[in-house]
A and B are shown apart, each in its own frame.
Chain A
Amino acid sequence: MTEHMNIFEASGLGKRYGSTWALRECTLAIPARHVTALVGPNGAGKTTLLNRAVGLTAPSAGEVTVLGGRLPGSTAALDGIAFVAQDTPLYKTLSVADMLHLTRNLTRRFDQAYAQARLAELGIPLTRKAGKLSGGQQAQVALTLALARRPQLLVLDEPVAMLDPIARHDFMATVLAVASADGMSVLLSSHVLTELERVASYLVLLSRGQVRLAGAVGGLLAAHHQASLEELALNYLRYNPTEVAK
């Protein structure tokens, strides 16, 4: 079942804040078992789309399902999706051990042994307050908490934006390793295109709240005669200027 389902499906999805449409007319199906990069300039609607996938916002128009037909935000969907929000919010006053315990207590499934082993491997002390960790360590703790939930879908919103190059590399390596070993699907947004080059197998290009391109990376590169994901995205946006929003 998990082999062929769509991890994310949107039809006619629109989200309006006041009079501005953050997303409009998005129709999209992302197959499972991919690392999907959600790419686009700032303000393209990436965060809005991800927030919808994890059930944090309701759409103004259209419909979204996740994990093969589940309603975002429903217990069934929450259970299978782990979300690491932008700037990886943790409870700063809680120790890392308490963050683990808190997460375990708020989820149906939590692999405590895995989480502890991974934090030990990273050299992050369990007794340290989350707020006292470096940015890279906080991101790693957030990722560990997410992975220990053994999600079917891992959603990451700008996960590496705040990290230095080494921390970025480590973070992405972990995501890729787990995704390929475990068959976990990943949906991540970023405007750091070079970082996605090595990891993404599926691309969704957003601009001005609309989906411009979507497909497997290999196929898209071949079809548009581009050598890299970065060139593909940049050239596509440059030569296919978006229509002015109605």
Chain B
Amino acid sequence: MTALTMPARSEEDDAGPRPVPWRRMAWVTWRQHRFALGGVAVLLGGLALYLWRIGLQMHHAYATVAACHPASSYACQNQVINFDTVYGPTAQTVATLLMAVSMLIGAFVGAPVLARELETGTFRYAWTLGVGRRRWTLAKLVPLAVMLAVATGLFSLLFSWYYQPLFADGSSIPLDPRLFGLRWVAYTAWTLAAFAIGALVGLLIRRVVPAIAATLAACTGLIFATGLYLRQHYMAPLIGRNLFTPPASAWIISVWWTKGGTVISQSTMNQTMNTLFQQIMLAILPKNVNENDIKFYKGTAIPRVLNHLLHHGYTQWTSYQPGSRFWPFQWIEGGWLLALSVLVISATVWLVGRRAT
């Protein structure tokens, strides 16, 4: 066997090293992760088509409901209720699904970036090339993060459009924990956080499948902790006294009753209110009431119950976040998640490079 002679090295050798351009790294990132990105595009594209289709139907149906005059009439109210019954459940399923999608995208794209290299041993190749492993890690994570951000950002716009009728008719509120993370800034920020956590977990666990599972677990925990405990504290909630009709868009955090300055337990209160409600219903319900009309009478009985309670020394307290805080909350959540993502990616890059120095 003959070997080709090597051409002589140029004098470039003795020149100070110039870093490998980012532009060339971009090709590598694209070439190695195009299937993952393609998968994301197909998944989000498919979901977008579905949302567009059912969204058009829903908007069309809502146009009829919204055209009903006068809006406060019984017939019009009934139309709204029908509309919610038909479109509400699908929309809620879609919402739950989409929150899972952002986690899945983050975990399936983020976790393998480093875990696959470590699992197959190719990191020994990639990290000993001239580019340097910190630069290599940055050049992989940042473009992928940007692409995910753009894709999910566009998608959250579509979702916001899709869900609009259910906000407009008052059946959903923008601050609803099930919906808040799906719209505008928050959706992108959640996806980025999942991606960043995935990359770090992949580096630590060094195996693809366990890293994906661990990422999903961590992100699910984070989402629930945020929705249940953290988000309500972004700004101090407003406290309403006897606020029986809070602003329609308010996110009610908690409601409690006091009598003579002491808090009454929820179960005692429920019992008292139930008894009152039954008594009042008996008093106001006509003899031959239509099954469908009971709803209407229930609606009128409730204010009477409350009125009765107020006249007997009870006070109701409501802590809530007004709907006008939607945007501040979006920026707060987007902000801290973005900060978390940047921090986690920085930590990942630092950890990748640590063993070199």
Contact = CB atoms under 8 A, between A and B. Distances in A.
Contacts of B356: 55-56, 58, 72-74
Contacts of A182: 5-6, 8-9
Given A80-B13, A105-B25, A152-B13, A178 B129 contact: no
**Interface range on chain A (Cβ under 8 Å from partner):** 35 or more
Contacts of B126: 106
A75 interface: yes
B311 interface: no
B4 A117 contact: yes
B19 interface: yes
A111 B120 contact: no
Interface string A90-112: 11101000100111111111010
A119 to B, nearest CB: 11
B355 A56 contact: yes
Interface in B187-224: none
Interface of B: 1-9, 12-14, 16-20, 24-25, 27-28, 31-32, 120-122, 124-133, 136, 354-357
Interface of A: 1, 54-58, 71-76, 78-83, 85, 87, 89-92, 94, 98, 101-109, 111, 114, 117-118, 121, 142, 147, 149-150, 152, 170, 173-174, 177-178, 181-182, 184
B20 A107 contact: yes
A150 B9 CA distance: 7
Contacts, number: 128
A78 B6 contact: no
B357 A105 contact: no
B118 to A, nearest CB: 11
B124 A178 contact: no
A80 B132 CA distance: 12
25 contacts: A54-B128, A58-B355, A58-B357, A73-B357, A75-B17, A75-B132, A78-B128, A79-B130, A85-B125, A89-B120, A91-B122, A94-B31, A101-B27, A102-B31, A105-B24, A105-B25, A106-B130, A106-B136, A118-B3, A118-B4, A150-B6, A173-B1, A177-B5, A182-B8, A184-B6
A129 B132 CA distance: 25
The 9 nearest A-B residue pairs measured at CB: A73-B356, A177-B3, A85-B124, A105-B24, A107-B130, A182-B6, A89-B121, A106-B129, A83-B128
Contact of A87 (B6, B121, B132): B121
A219 B197 CA distance: 56
A102 B120 CA distance: 17
A218 B132 CA distance: 38
A103 B3 contact: no
Given A58-B357, A102-B31, A170 B1 contact: yes
A181 B4 CA distance: 9
B20 A106 contact: yes
Residue in B14, B120, B122, B128 whose Cβ sees the most chain A Cβ within 10 Å = B128
A225 to B, nearest CB: 34
